[in-house]
Amino acid sequence: MSGHEGGCLCGKVRFRATAPAIDKGYCHCRMCQKNSGAPVVAWATFPAGSFSWIGEPPASYQSSREARRQFCPHCGSYMVFVSDRFPDEVAVNTASFDDPEAFPPDMHIFVSTRISWLHLADGLPQYESYRAPVDLG
Ligand SMILES: [Zn+2]
Ligand SMILES: [Zn+2]
Q: Tell how far the Cα of 84 is from the centroid of ligand 2, in angstroms.
A: 15
pLDDT at res. 114: 97
Residue 133 has pLDDT above 80, yes or no: no
Q: How far apart are CA 15 and CA 7, in angstroms?
A: 6
Give the pLDDT confidence of 28-70 residue by residue, as tens digits. Answer: 999 999 999 999 999 999 999 999 999 999 999 999 999 999 9
Q: Tell how far the Cα of 126 is from the centroid of ligand 1, in angstroms.
A: 32
Give the pTM.
0.91
Give the pLDDT confidence of 77-89 residue by residue, as tens digits. Answer: 999 999 999 999 9
Average pLDDT over residues 113-127: 95
pLDDT band at 132 (very low <50, low <70, confident <90, very high): low
Look at strands 13-17 and 41-47 and give their pairing: unpaired
Q: Kindly identify the ligand whose nearest atom is closest to the C-alpha of 78.
A: 1
Q: Tell how far the Cα of 57 is from the centroid of ligand 2, in angstroms.
A: 22
